[in-house]
Amino acid sequence: MAKLYYRFGTVSCGKTLALLAVAHKYERQGKIVVVVKPAVNNHGHGIDTVRSRAGLERKADIVVRELADLGDRAAALIRESDCVLVDESQFLPPDAIDWLRLVAVNYDVPVIAWGLRTDFRRRVFPASQRLFELADVLEEVKTVCTFCRRRAVFSAWLEGRERLVLEGDPNQAGADDLTKFQPLCPHCFERLAVRATA
């Protein structure tokens, strides 16, 4: 039986770049890939564009605003595919995760979703929570902290070099100004959090 995979990490850990590499490998073998992305978080490059910070990009086959976007057309595309790849899965509606789980179970098509573990406030996204609950395989995509060599586990919103933002819209992470969001280890996050609340 096919599986639902969740590959999670911080900002700038290479999630989208990994998705694009997987899509390339499948297509080099003559396999059919369906790329899904949420309608939000377009990085200023078009709502249907999946783009890595390294500059590589491709068009998404399915753009999801709400569960209804995963209707008959999406099901028909996916039934004929060899793999479903999901970018920025944390911004999907949580019920879309249930739908993707059924894709793996009912269509026997593997689904690999990439996304953030938590927002810049260190709170789990609803869709990420659902992926942690339903995924058959959980894999962390690792990177190092912006300020030290430790493993980054948090996506931080920084104004200036070291001013941490702790309140605001969680859907900002990954928005147009990509330099605002940086991966931090717990030690550096706490150091900056103390300054932010002082």
Q: Which one of 57, 88, 159, 162 is the catalytic residue? A: 88
Can 88 be counted among the known catalytic residues? Answer: yes
CA distance 20 to 49: 12
CA distance 37 to 59: 10
CA distance 38 to 79: 20
CA distance 169 to 125: 12
Please compute, for residue 108, the number of CA atoms within 13 A of its CA located in the half-sphere on the CB side. Answer: 1
Token output for 177: 């100004």
Which positions are catalytic?
88
